[in-house]
A = this chain, B = another copy of it.
Amino acid sequence: MTSKSSESSYEITETIKSICFKARRAWFSLANLPLDKRNEILKLLAKKIQQEKPVILAANEKDLQLARKNKLTSAILDRLTLNDKRLESLLLSLEQIVALPDPLGVILDKTVRPNGLEISKISVPIGVIGMIYESRPNVTIDAAALTLKSGNAVILKGGKESFYTNRSLAFCICETLKELKLPEECVTLIPFKEREAVLELLKQKDKVDLIIPRGGEGLIEFVTNHSQIPVIKHYKGICHVFIDKEADFKKAIHISLNAKVQRPGVCNAMETLLVDREIARDILPALISEYKKENVLLKGCEAARKIDPTLEAATEQDWKTEYLDKILSIRIVDSVQGAIEHIELYGSRHSDSIITENKTTASKFIQNVDSSAVFVNASTRFNDGFEFGLGAEMGISTDKLHARGPMGLKELTTYKYVIIGKGHIRE
């Protein structure tokens, strides 16, 4: 099977419409389930995955063979791979989601108005969520588990590279729902590889309440430009660490190193290091030597290259680039204000950190850097649902509305006003 269109346009359109229609209908059964029933789904799902392990691994092998044949990069092959260890961690994640408190039915606010009207603001599921993601098949289970626990129906569109793996995982979800006599349309994996299917999904504004795209620039732009449904983007991270002139050098070196090399391929890794001009000569040589030990390719602005001429020259494009690799750009700036301005111009409002012992400088940075997470003396790598104690996450939202930063169970809910009167009319 190739990724070329093997289905007719008409079939794709009609199937997507029908999936959305059924998902909305199924949602009502799910939204009214008590917590223990929603947890039961996740527990049974974990069992099914264990039972189906050989089938899942065989499907994954099929995807991997195709990926090798199509000469996909080793990074994609790595993200695509499932093995015993990764399945174990997937099951652990299910267990953790079960243990999390119920996000539904929380009374967020309650007032009795002077006229006696009782107004409550209560957390409820969002409805039907469309999740569009790329190669990692574990997202299929994480997204299904989080949406089910929060009472939402979900329509999944995984990457074409993980087509067979996703199908085997979706089979487990489907069997679980059937066994519990719940409508299987609570979770639907879109059965097409064609982008046309995504286009059609993005039009179903009466049935689908939210679209979450998680992936690279191309996917996110495509979804944002075509969606008639509200979108929460899980976009790129151009993250910065700024070493202030009043930084503790030991902390600065540890954090700058960790933010870049501990896992360079993820969105909360640092891409640009900013250094205060006043201390650049004192700290850069030691730091550069540490990066070289870790085989990081270093680029620098002109001032940085005066301190160490072995740095490659960074271009305007470098400041805008999410390398997701062992590559780092270094820029020397004039105090915290210079760092704030650089981040405003080039950052992606994801995660930025300042290293300083001066609280006033830290406050200025916190107030003026418009990012989902602003760190003081800590690595940007901590911007993560698990590290924040939210349990699992759908991803890290780079948007500002509804969900910002890690998107967990709570961010998968909205609210409804419930107003109880005694025959109240408005004068």
Q: Which residues of chain A (149-187) have a CB below 8 Å from chain B?
A: none
Partner pick for A372 among B379, B399, B400, B417, CB 8 A cutoff:
B417
Partner pick for A419 among B375, B415, B423, CB 8 A cutoff:
B375
A342 to chain B, nearest CB (A): 14
In contact, B416 and A368 (Cβ under 8 angstroms): no
Q: Which residues from B are CB-within-8-Å of A310?
A: none
In the complex, whether A236 has a CB less than 8 A from a CB of chain B is no
In contact, A402 and B404 (Cβ under 8 angstroms): no
A425-B373 contact given A32-B368, A224-B228, A420-B378, CB 8 Å threshold: no
In the complex, whether A13 has a CB less than 8 A from a CB of chain B is no
In contact, B373 and A423 (Cβ under 8 angstroms): no
In contact, A374 and B417 (Cβ under 8 angstroms): yes
A348 to chain B, nearest CB (A): 10
In contact, A417 and B402 (Cβ under 8 angstroms): no
In the complex, whether A366 has a CB less than 8 A from a CB of chain B is yes
Q: Which residues from B are CB-within-8-Å of A289?
A: none
A373-B416 contact given A255-B425, A423-B250, A425-B254, CB 8 Å threshold: yes
A90 to chain B, nearest CB (A): 21
In contact, A401 and B255 (Cβ under 8 angstroms): no
Give 18 CB contacts A-B under 8 Å.
A113-B389, A119-B388, A119-B389, A127-B370, A209-B401, A225-B228, A250-B423, A251-B422, A262-B427, A374-B416, A375-B419, A376-B418, A377-B423, A378-B420, A378-B421, A378-B423, A379-B421, A379-B424
Binding site for B on A (CB under 8 A): 28, 31-32, 111, 113, 117, 119, 126-127, 205, 209-210, 224-225, 228, 230-232, 248, 250-251, 254-255, 257-259, 262, 366-368, 370-379, 381-383, 387-389, 399-402, 404-405, 414-427
Partner pick for A425 among B31, B209, B262, B367, CB 8 A cutoff:
B262
Q: Which residues from B are CB-within-8-Å of A422?
A: 251, 377
Q: Which residues from B are CB-within-8-Å of A414?
A: 400-401, 404
Q: Which residues from B are CB-within-8-Å of A28?
A: 368
In contact, B224 and A419 (Cβ under 8 angstroms): no
In contact, A230 and B401 (Cβ under 8 angstroms): yes
With A and B bound together, what is the CA distance between A121 and B395 in angstroms? 18
In contact, B421 and A387 (Cβ under 8 angstroms): no
Copies in the complex: 2
Q: Which residues from B are CB-within-8-Å of A417?
A: 372-374, 383, 388, 404-405
Q: Which residues from B are CB-within-8-Å of A372?
A: 416-417
A357 to chain B, nearest CB (A): 10
A74 to chain B, nearest CB (A): 23
Q: Which residues from B are CB-within-8-Å of A381?
A: 425-426
With A and B bound together, what is the CA distance between A373 and B416 in angstroms? 6
Name which of A205, A366, A400, A422 has the most chain B CB atoms within 10 A of its CB.
A400
Q: Which residues from B are CB-within-8-Å of A231?
A: 230
With A and B bound together, what is the CA distance between A376 and B417 in angstroms? 11
In contact, A421 and B126 (Cβ under 8 angstroms): no
Q: Which residues from B are CB-within-8-Å of A424?
A: 255, 377-379, 382
Q: Which residues from B are CB-within-8-Å of A426?
A: 258, 262, 379, 381-382, 387
With A and B bound together, what is the CA distance between A254 and B127 in angstroms? 33
A114 to chain B, nearest CB (A): 9
A117-B209 contact given A31-B367, A401-B232, A416-B371, CB 8 Å threshold: no
Q: Which residues from B are CB-within-8-Å of A421?
A: 375-379, 382
Task: For A400, give the chain B residue with the smallest CB separation.
Answer: B414
With A and B bound together, what is the CA distance between A346 and B132 in angstroms? 29
Task: For A252, give the chain B residue with the smallest CB separation.
Answer: B423
Task: For A228, give the chain B residue with the smallest CB separation.
Answer: B224
A193 to chain B, nearest CB (A): 27
A150 to chain B, nearest CB (A): 13
With A and B bound together, what is the CA distance between A382 and B111 in angstroms? 14
In contact, A400 and B126 (Cβ under 8 angstroms): yes
Q: Which residues from B are CB-within-8-Å of A209?
A: 400-401
